[in-house]
Amino acid sequence: MFSGTGASDTGSSDADAAGTNASGIDASGLTGDLWAALGGAPSLLERVGYGTGGGLPAAVPVMALGRATTAVCALAAAELAAVRSGPPVSVRGLVPASVPAVRVTDGAVATAFTSERHLLIDGRPGATFAPLSRFWPTADGWIRTHANYPHHRARLLTALGLRDRDDTDALVAEVARRLAATPGEQSEQAVYAADGLAVAVRTASAWAAGEPGRAAAARPVVERRAVGTAPARSRALPPAALPAEGVRVLDLTRVIAGPVATRTLGLLGADVLRIDSPRLPELWDAQADTGFGKRSTALDLAVRADRAVFEELLGSADVVVTGYRPGALDRYGLSAEALLERRPGLIVAQLSAWGFDGPWAGRRGFDSLVQAATGIALLQADAEGRPGALPGQFLDHGTGYLIAAGVLRALTERLGPDGAGRLLRFALATTAARLLGLPADPVPAAERPDHSGRLAETDSPMGRLRYALPPIRYDGSPTTWSRPPSRPAADAPRWQP
């Protein structure tokens, strides 16, 4: 493992030691529900223990979501570790006692789910939201925009009929005037028509009553199915010390949720290769936060030579994780169906903001926009009624750990006799619907977590990094990643030997 300092590589902090199996901490039953959705054996849930140690307060039970998604991810890792740690064993024949015990603590979850806020790059805090990514008053309420990426900023300004300028304060004032004069949904439609990102802030009831909200609530939080009946051409996975050791993962994701999933697979031993378009590079600070445990390269799939390289990589891949809106990759022959046809036995995990059907399926989206649309932002409003946000990007991080759990369980299932491929689908809006349907958290966050014992530092090609340690803990699990982030697109497009 790379050299890290600041937090132990030997175990949890003192805060994590408190409250193991605290009574009622998973009273929502969400861990069991998610584990069932992933196809896990109910008997393995007894291997999960919980601890307190500080949480994050919110108007909705975010810590319940964080605990549950972390728990099922760690349990899926422990299950696969048990299967791969010795002589071949049937998953059905796996006895709970043979699966390493899992430990989930509120403090570790709270730190990991706000990892981007703890990031330091050579002492500089990582960037979070750009000046044009915020809530704005409208003629009839509020709207939330997202303009962190330069191309999204340009499209927002185009939709509003504004030119970009260096004077940020003046530009913010101009955007505010345009949006204040127009109803929120009208601006939302105009910005999306220009391929930008903006969502009118809605109440939870308005969202639930509308067609996009009904579509999100109707979907399972984990969509999963086996694909193909012929023997797979997947590579054999021999016994290994880490559950995902030797697994080859193509990472076609951006921002937080997808990269958190693949970062977690990298933690657990996978060879993760992130691929970006050279025309749409990732933001530097986002790469510094979510690039741990993986390598980064660039391929332009519209260029024949780069496409040939991608196809060669795909030919020996075990997993492909995509995080683009539905249909965006189809023109490159990268729909789930096309991938599984070319590579039987492949595991394909797809992430979208709004889901894979319904009127918003083709829209771009981010955690902050989903919070605005689903009513979470108004539930988090301040005393003056200004919309607010969750204490972290909980939809992103929670969905990310759920994706990783889905991939790990699919790897376990693929070791069975059929060897079939798997298609997994996840959506931020569906995670939000599940969060909004949870009962109040029985363990309210009475104290702020102490993050100091859950942060570490390391040198990297991007500079000296302070970063949040992973929350995935089971007996024998790694406590940090084997490699720091690469610079964006700095690695060769090939698998590790």
CA dihedral of residues 334, 339, 342, 347 (deg, nearest 10): 150
Q: How many CB atoms lie within 10 A of CB 354?
A: 26
* Averaged pLDDT, 466-470: 98
* Averaged pLDDT, 207-215: 97
CA distances from 164 to 145, 395, 408 (A): 16, 31, 45
Q: What are the tens digits of pLDDT across the range 20-32?
A: 444 345 656 999 9
With a cut of 70, say whether residue 1 has pLDDT above it. no
Q: What are the tens digits of pLDDT across the range 136-170?
A: 999 999 999 999 999 999 999 999 999 999 889 99
Q: Is residue 7 part of a domain?
A: no
With a cut of 50, say whether residue 12 has pLDDT above it. no
With a cut of 60, say whether residue 10 has pLDDT above it. no
3-state SS, the chain, equals CCCCECCCCCCCCHHHHCCCCCCCCCCCCHHHHHHHHCCCCHHHHHHEEEECCCCCCCCCCHHHHHHHHHHHHHHHHHHHHHHHCCCCCCCCCCCHHHCCCEEEEHHHHHHHCCHHHHCEECCEECCCCCCCCCEEECCCCEEEECCCCHHHHHHHHHHCCCCCCCCHHHHHHHHHHHHHCCCHHHHHHHHHHCCCCEEECCCHHHHHHCHHHHHHHHCCCCEEEEECCCCCCCCCCCCCCCCCCCCEEEEECCCCHHHHHHHHHHHCCCEEEEEECCCCCCCHHHHHHHCCCEEEEECCCCCHHHHHHHHHHHCCCCEEEECCCCCCCHHHCCCHHHHHHHCCCCEEEEEECCCCCCCCCCCCCCHHHHHHHHCHHHHCCCCCCCCCCCCCCHHHHHHHHHHHHHHHHHHHHHCCCCCCEEEEEEEHHHHHHHHHCCCCCCCCCCCCCCCHHHEEEEEECCEEEEEECCCCCECCCCCCCCCCCCCCCCCCCCCCC
Question: At what angle are helices 394-414 and 428-436 packed, to 10 degrees?
Answer: 110
User: Residue 134 has what pLDDT?
Assistant: 97
Q: Is residue 15 part of a domain?
A: no
User: Residue 2 has what pLDDT?
Assistant: 45
Same domain, 258 and 277: yes
Same domain, 78 and 151: no
Number of domains in the chain: 2
User: Residue 21 has what pLDDT?
Assistant: 44
Residue 7 — very low, low, confident or very high, per pLDDT cuts 50/70/90?
A: very low
Find the CATH number of the domain harbouring 219: 3.40.50.10540
Same domain, 346 and 462: yes
As a whole number, the mean pLDDT across the chain is 90
Same domain, 209 and 87: yes
Q: Is residue 457 part of a domain?
A: yes
**Which of 181, 201, 221 is the C-terminal boundary of a domain?**
201
Nearest to 260 by CA among 81, 431, 59, 123: 431
User: Residue 419 has what pLDDT?
Assistant: 78
Same domain, 140 and 224: no
- Strands 421-427 and 347-352 come out as parallel
With a cut of 50, say whether residue 435 has pLDDT above it. yes
Same domain, 195 and 218: no
Q: Give the domain range for residue 168.
A: 135-201
User: Residue 88 has what pLDDT?
Assistant: 58
Residue 415 — very low, low, confident or very high, per pLDDT cuts 50/70/90?
A: confident
Same domain, 390 and 421: yes
Question: How many percent of the chain have pLDDT more than 70?
Answer: 90
User: Residue 320 has what pLDDT?
Assistant: 98
Give the position of tokens 């004032």.
173
With a cut of 60, say whether residue 13 has pLDDT above it. no
* Averaged pLDDT, 311-329: 94
Higher pLDDT, 217 or 442: 217
Q: Is residue 375 part of a domain?
A: yes
User: Residue 447 has what pLDDT?
Assistant: 63
Same domain, 74 and 223: yes
Q: Is residue 361 part of a domain?
A: yes
Q: Is residue 14 part of a domain?
A: no
**Which of 201, 225, 251 is the C-terminal boundary of a domain?**
201
With a cut of 80, say whether residue 444 has pLDDT above it. no
Same domain, 184 and 218: no
Residue 448 — very low, low, confident or very high, per pLDDT cuts 50/70/90?
A: confident
Q: What are the tens digits of pLDDT across the range 321-375?
A: 999 999 889 989 899 999 999 999 999 999 999 999 999 999 999 999 999 999 9
Distance, in Å, from the CA atom of 374 to the CA atom of 387, rounded to the nearest integer, reads 12
Q: What are the tens digits of pLDDT across the range 246-265?
A: 999 999 999 999 999 999 99
* Averaged pLDDT, 275-283: 88
Q: Is residue 17 part of a domain?
A: no
Q: What are the tens digits of pLDDT across the range 59-114?
A: 999 999 999 999 999 999 999 999 998 765 556 668 899 999 999 999 999 999 99
Residue 465 — very low, low, confident or very high, per pLDDT cuts 50/70/90?
A: very high
Tokens of 166: 């260096």
User: Residue 24 has what pLDDT?
Assistant: 46
**Which of 201, 220, 255 is the C-terminal boundary of a domain?**
201
Q: Is residue 13 part of a domain?
A: no
Same domain, 187 and 213: no
Residues listed for the chain: 497
Same domain, 156 and 271: no
Q: Spell out a b/e string for 220-257, using b for 16 or more CB atoms within 10 Å of the CB, else e.
A: ebbbbebbbeeebebeebeeeebbbbbbbbbbbbbbbb
Same domain, 150 and 124: no
